[in-house]
Structure 1
């Protein structure tokens, strides 16, 4: 009898090593120009593609901020290409907080551990493993595939996807659909049923700098025009504000499916009780029920006995698709007339429908590997490089397929400690992606 290891495809065996090697390259993104490791990671990817005959080019938006773009010819050149994209950078990690060193890429308890294991060097590795095997075997995809491994996603994509879309839109101009991260992962309902959440929407991003101006003076004097006081009150209003629940199409469809699976009524007046049933991903889905605004940085003054003339704060705002105007109207009401705002970073919301041949391909590929799979759309509370590619009219989906153990807090590992991905989930993802490419 052939053992399990021998029965695996080469891609299934290779994906674990690819994931570990990518994690071992420290591509921490500190939000500045430095981008340590991104050039090394880009060269690694380009080499892996070159080994199997895929031509690619490294694009550098700023010294060290490197992205890789390549293209594989499909069987039908009349069809628009499919874009597969992933980012190479990761958020920083403090090794003192981790069970295993964040860049050691160790295998323990059946998982690959390390920063980027789920965000998103797992998907980068799956894409590479699948396409390397297909190229070795001479299996061309049904249509052209455009590959993009990108810099700077963790700081908004300024030096990665945004720069490429601005400076080299011709690389993606004929693409109509794209898949990338934060979708396709399983939510276990019971032993025989798993929902696979496909990202079809993302909240928009508004990182804002707030400024209050007042009358500077000596700290011992009475001052009724104190910038710090004005700012503090505005920040408190924002931080304590709860926006009303507003169900977008993707969120409504997800929650209706969940109610059906749990055989409970869909009660729009008590929707948060439905979300509470989702276990580890409840926080992530709960954040898509409404707009949000969170104070993150406060600055004001330079000496205890000096009242400053200005004080500033920074806040992280996220708005629902199709509701940006009303979000900012409420922010301005809460700030009041004496506090101004400016953008640190402003990216649009993303939304597409859960229909079409690409959705059918995702569903069929998943069900072929997991007969208990059911695909559902969802809205992501964070942001991805989909925000940049949307500007070119590309439909974006989060589809990095992983069948996960029910007890794994997958959502909590994004930007968290002890990030890890099960080895078997990586191999599952390889099989699904390979089928998906054939069906898409």
Structure 2
């Protein structure tokens, strides 16, 4: 071996510990309690709970084991499932409070995730990978970070001997991500309302929005949401032999209809919550988009401002009902003209708008008497917007000032749908607290390479622990 080669090999060998040391310096060592939390979070992410290949029941088993190890008795934990959905079970755990008059509070979290196809991902979707300041994996942001925080909070309270004034309940459920699955929150509301009875609930939907560089710009408290309804647009045709094609083709007609749906915008609408959001969040931005947001809050008919705001997909959705094609089917043979072609159109309906009026609007947009537009299902009862209760908002604001000085808190209507609708139907207002936050692009939730900001997860854990304690007295 030449002297030059020896030098090269020596440098290469030294570079490994040097790089490792640099990496350690860049990322502070986790406290012991953070290490335990990370292990819990990782276990949640790495337990597949998708409707196709996973099991919520298996994850609930693991959570129950952790709760019992922390000191929760069998009597404090209620497991639930139904015979025809054995893999979609969940659990409720109760930490009793000291007060006979203070009503309980409920922490709600769905533990199921959207299906992830491994072949489409850059990384294994069911392995939690920490990379470049993010946790990657299916469910890291929706919503296993918050699930882990809720579980971790209840474990820490028990281990510390903390007895809240207000009873704290935690419900972990399945079925939120799939309309035809067994929905645990719905089942509890209909079959075990006393078990989850509470003055209010904390759920997903809140959080905040970063500048895309890891800095929190605006924090949100989720107050109300849209309703999710599915419609089927279908074209039918006598069909025939593919060797003699004609323009009258069910697939072509469906394609034309879907194009019309794509190009249609429902009218702009605003509530007190969304108006406040655009005013506060717009001011916080301090850029051209922020100025446009404030103008829209003052005048929703300002077309120039709307043109700017609508370039952001989340803002666009907050301002109106939205409908989008999500599934396609059609034809029956390779060598035959299609006799049928259909599309599922998923709509997120603005509060106060009826599902039937949206169906009629879609019918008018399609404008083809040969096609049908039918409502397939809805996700549940109409969403009941909760009050913007200062007893909920003020503790969140006080803690936000401690954790993120100068960051404003804005009420926000969720453009998605949460299981809070089932709680609202039995008189439990549901709020999505701040604490966790994401990037403007949505962090891949429901899509490829889902991720959560590492800093947001650890800080959110501390924030939400303190917030639960504040509410529990």
The two structures have a TM-score, normalised by structure 1, of 0.85
Give the Cα separation in 1 of the matches to 2:138 and 2:214.
30
Task: Verify the 8 A CA contact 1:152 1:158 in the aligned structure 2.
Answer: yes
1:59 is displaced (CA, Å) by 0.8
Tell me whether 1:435 sits opposite 2:466 in the alignment.
Answer: yes
* More displaced stretch, 88-97 vs 285-294: 88-97
Quote how far apart the aligned CAs of 1:68 are.
1.0
Cα distance change on mapping 1:330 and 1:5 into 2, 3 Å: same
One of 345, 364, 388 as aligned partner of 2:377: 345
SS at match of 1:161: helix
The answer to whether the aligner puts 1:130 opposite 2:161 as a matched pair is no
Q: C-alpha separation between the residues in 2 aligned to 1:70 and 1:431?
A: 21
In 2: Cα distance, 1:298 partner to 1:424 partner: 39
The aligned counterpart of 1:374 is 408
Q: 2:224 aligns with which of 158, 183, 201?
A: 201
- CA drift at 1:202: 1.7
The residue number in structure 1 matching 2:68 is: 50
Alignment CA distance shift 1:77-1:7 (3 Å): farther
The CA deviation string for residues 72-92 of structure 1, in whole angstroms up to 9 with x for no partner, is 111223222111011111112
The structural deviation recorded for 1:256 is: 0.8
Equivalent position to 2:262, from 235, 239, 263: 239
- 2:60 maps to 1:36: no
- Structure 2 Cα separation of the partners of residues 422 and 257 of structure 1: 24
Query: Which of the two has higher C-alpha Rg?
Result: 2
Matches of residues 36-435 of structure 1 in structure 2 within 5 Å? 36-54=54-72, 55-61=76-82, 62-156=85-179, 158-172=182-196, 174-188=197-211, 194-215=217-238, 228=251, 231-261=254-284, 262=286, 264=291, 266-267=295-296, 268=299, 269=302, 270-272=304-306, 275=309, 282-303=312-333, 306-307=336-337, 309-324=339-354, 326-336=357-367, 337-347=369-379, 348-399=382-433, 401-402=435-436, 408-409=439-440, 411-435=442-466
User: Given that residues 199 and 429 in structure 2 are in contact (C-alpha distance below 8 angstroms), is that contact kept between their aligned partners in structure 1?
Assistant: yes
Matched, 1:20 2:42: yes
| Aligned-residue offset at 1:150 | 0.9
Q: Is the 8 A contact 1:203 1:350 kept in 2?
A: no
Return the alpha-carbon distance in structure 2 between the equivalents of residues 245 and 436 of structure 1: 35
Matched position secondary structure for 1:246:
coil
Distance between the aligned counterparts of 2:191 and 2:339, measured in 1?
A: 41
Q: Deviation of residue 209 (structure 1)?
A: 1.9
Q: Cα offset for 1:60?
A: 1.2
Task: Compute the displacement of 1:273 (Å).
Answer: 5.6
CA–CA distance in structure 1, aligned partners of residues 348 and 116 of structure 2: 24
Q: Which whole-Å CA distance do the structure 1 matches of 2:329 and 2:461 have between them?
A: 47
How many correspondences in the alignment? 425
For 1:28 and 1:234, the matched residues in 2 are separated by: 32
Alpha-carbon separation, structure 2, partners of 1:186 and 1:409: 6
Distance 1:52 1:291 in 2: 45
Distance 1:298 1:99, change over 3 A: closer
SS of residue paired to 1:373 = coil
For the residue of structure 1 that corresponds to 2:332, the secondary structure is: coil
Gaps of 5+ in 1: none
Q: Per-residue displacement from partner, 1:254-287 (whole Å, max 9, x unpaired)? A: 111133332845243144366379xxxx322321
Report the secondary structure of 2:318's partner residue.
Answer: coil
Measure how far apart 1:5 and its partner are. 7.6
Residue segments in structure 2 that go unaligned for 5+ positions in a row = 1-26
Q: What is the CA–CA distance in structure 2 between the aligned matches of 1:69 and 1:436, rounded to whole Å?
A: 20
Q: For the residues of structure 2 that align with 1:144 and 1:115, how far apart are their CA atoms?
A: 32
CA positional deviation for 1:11? 4.3
Q: Cα distance, 1:125 vs. partner?
A: 0.9
The CA deviation at 1:346 is: 0.6
Q: Secondary structure at the match of 1:411?
A: coil
* C-alpha distance in structure 2 between counterparts of 1:226 and 1:6, whole Å: 63
Deviation of 1:188 (Å): 4.8
